[in-house]
């Protein structure tokens, strides 16, 4: 991979220097300003507006575009640090991290609630309108690479997805109560996150960041040597950090289906997120930095690396499932809940931890393919 | 497979007729009588005797040998029905089924409790003395065929099993209470099963069966044409019934890891065992009949088919996990349990349903290998 994409002798890639970085940062800053304008026009009312209206959808899009631009600027400042004015970039980076974190929370709570409610329905055997049982069954492995089918047609038989059973489709009392509890807790968290985000966007701290990014849209504070310095060594270093981190993941275990490793502390007294997840979260961040560095180098010419995208999606799924499992475990600690509610939350927690395991398997499959496929 | 083992032109197999069946039945009947004598000598006190003592171990062995012989006699009567005196075999078969069922219950409850308590400890991250964390992690996939390791040494890294975390090793209150509840319920069920078995072994109904089997040990009531009739067609029919049943299993789904199909009704209001498990249980029985038929045909000369054994073990695991999951769900319906207990039982239920899914995957892997490997 390093050879294929970052080789400075590759005639297609050309000599990519600090100028490309400046162009990339200008484009992202412009995108940020555009999204910010859109966000203000739509009022940013994602939490209270009705979901179906165009205004609300635009607000969601604007918020996503804001987060997207901030992540890319922040990541580029990190990876290509030596090419940028140190005082400026050192002052910007914590501000961008704060902004990125603040903007992400509301979406994260909304997505977590949606994931948990979908899982509750799936676990109750409910079939959604317009969604066949087969789709519901296959949904978990959607991100996974399909396993090679070695079945002989005569013996494998038809897929035979379990037929939808409408009489089993209703939520049990426990599942319904668990859903209501999660909805209450996560909606509250989401509303608070929404208020925090609105407050942040009105703060003088934010205005300082926005002013800085506005300057960035026209003038990138490169060091004097940057325009003639190649970007490849720094991008290669980012990739190496990723490769090292992946190398220390338990990929052999992850590649053996049903290794039951993700639920190993499923009943642990510690309510904190599983320590075993941390290296995977770290790889997720490093993969993102690697992807952004590639964007800087390849520009619009670069081919989309679908395997890298798939690996990133598997790690996103890993993070989402890990946090959803923690939310279910946390909800089960609510005082005075009914045993049936707690039981449903236990099933839900274990289900999401298995989703964590499934995401690791999917990542391992992507990564192996990637490694084998390159010269 | 049919060609390989049941081909009548195979010179090694020779012409196997009703005489071989008679020999097999005599041997199994003798084994039954031996086990029965041993069972009486040891007092059959498996439920109340201390587990470590030799007497209790002998009693367990004797009970296992009894069940083993009864299953084989019963299965042979079923598969080779046309060769046996119809009145005799029709009167014997329900009696053998009753005996087999009665004898199996006590062991089933004991094994179920052990499986659930082990799972509770595993889910709490507890490491047993003399058992490394790696073993605990790998235990679930022990029955599964190892997945081909395509990892390049440089990227895959060491297995990196999660290190044992002694401070997380203690059971939580919920897990401990769930364990105590399951122990109470399943020990009660086991004690009742033990009493029923003892009562059955003292009943006149049992004495009639035992007398019949004693006659069988010396004289098998074959039909007049049986000694010259080949066994192959009937054995082939048993194999065909198995192949047909396997063909209707959702093997494509089962072969895709993390298909999440087994937990699809994890929160269903219906406490009964999952209907989706029934075809797999059926295949388990048909596989056993096929295996016994092969024992009759091959005698002691027959090679042990390890793949068939592995497939059978996967289906045993499927059955055990399915019933353990149902027991956990049932225990969660006990009135007035604490939410923490219900939560632990929910996690346990989901864990065992995933074990069901893992067992299906293991079976699919065995079966595929078997099918691909034969001409």
pLDDT digits (tens, 9 = 90+) for A171-209: 688 999 999 999 999 999 999 999 999 999 999 999 999
Residue matched to tokens 């031996």: B34
Say how far apart CA B176 and CA B126 lie, in whole Å.
12
Nearest-angstrom CA–CA distance, B170 and B131: 15
Mean per-residue pLDDT over chain B, rounded: 82
Q: Residue B291 pLDDT more than 70?
A: yes
Give dist(CA B72, CA B25) in Å, integer. 8
Which candidate from B159, B162, B351 shows the least CB-CB separation from A350? B351
Cross-strand bridge partners of residue A222: A84
For residue A126, the model assigns a pLDDT of 64
Closest-CA residue of A relative to B119 is: A264
Rounded CA gap, A41 and A149, in Å?
52
Please, which residues have CB within 8 angstroms of residue B79's CB and are 6 or more apart in sequence?
Answer: B234, B235, B237, B238, B289, B292, B293, B296
pLDDT at residue A44 in the model: 59
Answer yes or no: do B261 and A350 touch at CB < 8 A. no
Q: Is the pLDDT of residue A136 over 70?
A: no
If you ran DSSP here, which 8-state letter would residue B143 be given? G
Top residue of B343, B357, B358, B365 to mutate, by most chain A CBs within 10 Å, is: B343
With 50 as the cut, is the pLDDT of residue B154 above it?
A: no
Q: Which residues of B touch A141 (CB under 8 A)?
A: 256-260
Cβ contacts of B160 on chain A, cutoff 8 Å: 248-250, 252-253
pLDDT of residue B304: 79
How many Cβ atoms from other residues are within 10 Å of residue A111's Cβ?
A: 16
Rounded distance, CA B183 to CA B112, Å?
Answer: 10
| Mean pLDDT, range A129-146, rounded to an integer | 40
- The backbone region for B340, taken as left when phi is positive above 0, alpha when psi lies in -120 to 50, beta otherwise, is alpha
The answer to whether residue A348 scores a pLDDT higher than 60 is: yes
In this predicted structure, what is the pLDDT of residue B46? 47
Quote the CA–CA distance of A18 and A13 in Å, as a whole number.
Answer: 14
Contact yes or no for A280/A360 (Cβ under 8 A)? yes
CA A331 to chain centre: 23
> Does residue B51 have a pLDDT over 50?
no
CA atoms within 13 Å, Cβ hemisphere of B146: 6
Of B123, B160, B261, which is closest to A267 when you measure between CB atoms?
B123
The secondary element (H helix, E strand) that includes residue B312 is: helix B306-331
Position with higher pLDDT, B75 vs B374: B75
Separation of first and last alpha carbons in chain A: 8
* Domain layout of chain A by residue ranges: 1-13+230-375, 17-129+173-229
What is the nearest CA distance from A350 to chain B, expressed in angstroms? Answer: 5
Structure-token match 């990723």, residue found: A242
Q: pLDDT class for A370, splitting at 50, 70, 90?
A: low
Q: What is the pLDDT of residues A224-249, one digit of tens each?
A: 999 889 999 999 999 999 999 999 99
A344 contacts in chain B (CB < 8 Å): 267, 346
pLDDT of res. B45: 56
* Structure confidence at residue A368 (pLDDT): 86
The answer to whether the Cβ–Cβ distance between B338 and A339 falls below 8 Å is: yes
Min Cα distance B251 → chain A (Å) is: 6
CA distance A46 to chain B (A): 32
Q: Could you read off the pLDDT of B331-353 as tens digits, one per residue?
A: 999 999 999 999 999 999 999 99
- B342, A337 contact by CB (below 8 A): no
Residue B271 confidence class, pLDDT cut points 50, 70, 90: low
Q: Per-residue pLDDT for B155 more than 80? A: no
Does residue B209 carry a pLDDT above 90?
yes
ipTM here: 0.82
Shortest CB distance from A251 goes to which of B156, B247, B248? Answer: B156
Q: What is the mean pLDDT of residues B263-268?
A: 79
Nearest-Cα distance to chain B for A371, in Å, is: 8
Contact call for B343 and A340, based on CB within 8 A: no
Tokens linked to A286: 């490093």
Cα–Cα distance measured from residue A363 to residue A246, given in angstroms and rounded to the nearest whole number? 10
Min Cα distance B323 → chain A (Å) is 16
Q: What is the pLDDT of residue A137?
A: 38
Pick from A122, A160, A174: CB nearest B264 = A122
Chain B partners within 8 Å of A340 (Cβ):
332, 342
Residue B55: pLDDT band (50, 70, 90) is low
- Cα separation values, B226 from B9, B75, B220, B223, B231, Å: 20, 17, 11, 5, 9
| pLDDT above 50 (res A150) | no
Return the pLDDT at A219: 92
pLDDT at A371 over 70: no
- Three-state SS annotation for chain A: CHHHHHCCCCCCCCCCEHHHHHHHHHHHHHHHHHHHHHHHHCCCCCCCCCCCCHHHHHHHHHHHHHHHHHHHHHHHHHHCHHHECHHHHHHHHHHHHHHHHHHHHHHHHHHHHHHHHHHHHHHCCCCCCCCCHHHHHHCHHHHCCCCCCCCCHHHHCCCCCCCCCHHHCCCCHHHHHHHHHHHHHHHHHHHHHHHHHHHHHHCHHHHHHHHHHHHHCCCCCECCCHHHCECHHHHHHHHHHHHHHHHCCCHHHHHCCCCCCCCCCCCCCCCCCCHHHHHHHHHHHHHHHHHHHHHHHHHHHCCCCHHHHHHHHHHHHHHHHHHHHHHHHHHCCCCCCCHHHHHHHHHHHHHHHHHHHHHHHHHHHHHHHHHHHCC
Min distance A189 CA to chain B CA atoms (Å): 23
- Residue of higher predicted confidence among A157 and A69: A69
Residue found by looking up tokens 């909800």 in the block: A331
Q: Which of A155, A340, A371 sits opposite B152 (nearest CB)?
A: A371
Mean pLDDT within A250-272: 83
* 3-class DSSP assignment, residue B26: helix
> Distance, in angstroms, between A286 CA and closest chain B CA?
16
Which residue of A160, A339, A355 is the best one to mutate when testing the B interface, meaning the one whose CB has the most B CBs within 10 A?
A339
Give me the residues paired with residue B84 across strands.
B222
> What are the backbone dihedrals phi and psi of residue B224, each rounded to the nearest 5 degrees, phi first?
-65, -30
Q: Of the given ranges (A142-151, A213-222, A279-288), which has the lowest mean pLDDT? A: A142-151
Residue B93 confidence (pLDDT) = 92
- Which of A120, A343, A371 is the best substitution to test chain B (most B C-beta atoms within 10 A)? A343
pLDDT tops 90 at residue A266? no
Nearest residue of A to residue B349, measured between CA atoms: A347
B346 and A346 within 8 Å at the Cβ level: the answer is yes
Residue B138 has pLDDT above 50, yes or no: no
Cβ contacts (< 8 Å) between A175 and chain B: which residues?
Answer: 267
Give how far A296 is from chain B: nearest CA, Å. 26
Average pLDDT over residues A310-338: 95
In this prediction, residue A71 carries a pLDDT of 95
Q: Is the pLDDT of residue A327 over 70?
A: yes
pLDDT tens per residue, range A17-46: 899 999 999 999 999 999 999 998 887 554
CB contact under 8 A, A264 and B137: yes
**CB pairs A-B closer than 8 Å:** 290
- List chain B residues with CB under 8 Å of A170: 269
Identify the pLDDT of residue B273.
62
Which residues in chain A are contacts of B123 at CB distance < 8 A? 263-267
Phi and psi based region of residue B223 (left: phi greater than 0; alpha: psi -120 to 50; beta: remaining) = beta
């Amino acid at each position: 991979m390093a050879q294929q994409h970052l080789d400075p002798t590759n005639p297609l890639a050309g000599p990519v220097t600090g100028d490309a970085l400046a162009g990339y940062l200008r484009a992202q800053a412009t995108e940020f300003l555009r999204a910010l304008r859109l966000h203000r026009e739509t009022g940013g009312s994602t939490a209270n507006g009705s979901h179906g209206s165009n205004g609300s959808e635009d607000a969601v899009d604007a918020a996503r575009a804001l987060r997207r631009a901030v992540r890319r600027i922040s990541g580029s400042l990190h990876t290509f640090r030596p090419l940028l004015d140190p005082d400026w970039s050192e002052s910007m980076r914590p501000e961008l991290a704060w902004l990125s974190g603040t903007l992400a929370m509301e979406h994260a709570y909304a997505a977590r609630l949606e994931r948990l409610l979908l899982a509750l329905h799936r676990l109750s055997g409910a079939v959604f309108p317009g969604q066949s049982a087969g789709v519901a069954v296959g949904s978990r492995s959607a991100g996974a690479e399909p396993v090679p089918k070695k079945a002989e047609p005569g013996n494998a038989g038809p897929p035979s997805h379990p037929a939808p059973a409408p009489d089993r489709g209703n939520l049990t009392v426990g599942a319904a109560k668990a859903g209501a509890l999660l909805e209450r807790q996560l909606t509250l968290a989401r509303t608070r996150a929404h208020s925090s985000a609105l407050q942040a966007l009105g703060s003088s701290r934010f205005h300082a960041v926005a002013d800085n990014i506005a300057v960035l849209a026209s003038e990138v504070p490169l060091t004097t040597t940057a325009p003639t310095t190649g970007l490849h060594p720094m991008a290669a270093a980012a990739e190496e950090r990723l490769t090292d981190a992946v190398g220390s993941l338990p990929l052999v275990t992850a590649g053996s289906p049903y290794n039951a490793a993700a639920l190993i502390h499923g009943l642990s007294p510690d309510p904190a997120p599983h320590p075993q997840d941390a290296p995977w979260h770290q790889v997720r961040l490093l993969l993102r930095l690697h992807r952004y560095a590639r964007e800087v180098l390849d520009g619009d010419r670069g081919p989309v690396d679908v395997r890298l995208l798939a690996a990133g999606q598997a790690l996103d799924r890993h993070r989402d499932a890990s946090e959803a499992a923690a939310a279910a475990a946390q909800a089960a600690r609510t005082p005075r809940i009914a045993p049936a509610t707690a039981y449903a939350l236990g099933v839900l927690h274990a289900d999401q931890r298995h989703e964590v395991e499934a995401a690791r398997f999917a990542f391992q499959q992507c990564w192996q393919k990637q490694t084998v496929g390159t010269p």
